[in-house]
Amino acid sequence: MTGNYNQLLPLLIACFLAYVVTEVFRDRPIYEALLRRDLQRTKNEHQLDEPVVREFTVAPGAPFAGKTIRELGLPPGCIIVRCRDGNREWVATAYTRLEPHMHLTVLVAPTAVQGISILEKGCSAAEISVSEMT
- 13-59 pLDDT, tens digit per residue, is 998 998 888 778 877 777 777 877 776 666 545 567 788 899 999 99
Question: Is 30 part of a structural domain of the chain?
Answer: yes
Q: Are residues 31 and 2 in the same domain?
A: yes
Stronger pLDDT, 30 or 124, i.e. the higher one: 124
pLDDT higher than 50, residue 129:
no
Q: Are residues 20 and 63 in the same domain?
A: no
Give the chain's domain count.
2
Q: Are residues 78 and 30 in the same domain?
A: no
Distances (CA, A) of 88 to 63, 91, 107: 23, 11, 20
Q: Are residues 54 and 25 in the same domain?
A: no
Distances (CA, A) of 29 to 55, 91, 126: 11, 24, 20
Distance in angstroms (rounded) separating the CA atoms of residues 20 and 134: 23
Distance in angstroms (rounded) separating the CA atoms of residues 80 and 98: 11
Contacts of 57 (CB under 8 A, 6+ apart): 101, 102, 103, 104, 123
Structural domain range at position 57: 46-126
Distance in angstroms (rounded) separating the CA atoms of residues 64 and 119: 8
Per-residue model confidence (pLDDT) at position 87: 85
Distance in angstroms (rounded) separating the CA atoms of residues 108 and 51: 5
Distance in angstroms (rounded) separating the CA atoms of residues 62 and 114: 18
pLDDT higher than 60, residue 131:
no
Q: Are residues 50 and 81 in the same domain?
A: yes
Q: Are residues 62 and 89 in the same domain?
A: yes
Phi-psi region of 107 (alpha: psi -120 to 50; beta: other; left: phi over 0): beta
